[in-house]
């Protein structure tokens, strides 16, 4: 073998190594991005249930289906609107497919169904809340579909 042939082999090996490194790096980056997006979704979810949040304050009444908004309670209305802002963050992550839908259903599906009834018609028609409200509506629909699956069918989403 002459030096030209060895150089050609070395070039091919270097190119293959670079391709392998590129592919491996791409896989790791995609995995890390998924983990990062999931972490952002969980952080947003945690803020929804922080100590003095609307949901944390009203979780028992919400679970029982007895929660009714008191529009004269300004502090609670402020918490309600802060909750909507946080739901918008979740909606943005969801709309960009940052978090799998079954994860969204698992973490917030039951609350989405209960929260939808708290909106006034004016809020439902407002362009400023349509992202959050649409997210809750679609998540509630997906939760209904997910709930109809058997346990075995749902298990494939538990990864």
The single-letter DSSP state of residue 78 is H
pLDDT in tens, 68-105: 999 999 999 999 999 999 999 999 999 999 999 999 99
50 pLDDT band (50/70/90 cuts)?
very high
pLDDT value at residue 4 = 85
29 pLDDT band (50/70/90 cuts)?
very high
Q: Specify whether the CB–CB gap between 109 and 139 falls below 8 A.
A: yes
Widest Cα–Cα separation across the chain: 89
CB atoms within 10 A of CB 88: 18
Segment 59-70 shows an average pLDDT of 93
- Does the pLDDT at position 157 exceed 80? no
Cβ neighbours for 41, distance < 8 A, ≥ 6 positions apart: 90, 93, 98, 99, 103, 104, 107
pLDDT value at residue 158 = 76
Cβ neighbours for 49, distance < 8 A, ≥ 6 positions apart: 55, 56, 59
pLDDT value at residue 110 = 92
Measured CA to CA, the distance from residue 137 to residue 34 in angstroms comes to 24
Exposed (0-12), middle (13-18) or buried (19+): which is 14, by Cβ within 10 Å? Answer: exposed
Computed over every residue of the chain, the mean pLDDT equals 92
* Stronger pLDDT, 156 or 126, i.e. the higher one: 126
pLDDT value at residue 141 = 95
pLDDT in tens, 2-26: 888 889 889 999 999 999 999 999 9
């Amino acid at each position: 073998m002459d030096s030209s042939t060895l150089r050609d082999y070395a070039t091919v090996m270097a190119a293959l190594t670079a391709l392998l490194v590129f592919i491996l790096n791409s896989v790791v980056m995609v995995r890390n991005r998924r983990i990062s997006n999931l972490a952002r979704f969980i952080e947003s979810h945690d803020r929804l249930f922080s100590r003095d949040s609307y949901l944390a304050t009203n979780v028992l009444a919400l679970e029982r289906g007895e929660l009714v908004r008191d529009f004269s309670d300004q502090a609670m209305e402020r918490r309600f609107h802060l909750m909507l802002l946080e739901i918008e963050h979740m909606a943005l992550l969801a709309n960009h497919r940052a978090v799998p839908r079954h994860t969204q259903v698992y973490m917030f599906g039951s609350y989405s169904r209960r929260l939808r009834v708290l909106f006034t018609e004016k809020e439902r028609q407002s362009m400023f809340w349509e992202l959050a409200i649409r997210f809750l509506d679609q998540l509630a629909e997906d939760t209904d579909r997910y709930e109809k699956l058997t346990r075995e069918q749902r298990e494939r989403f538990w990864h």
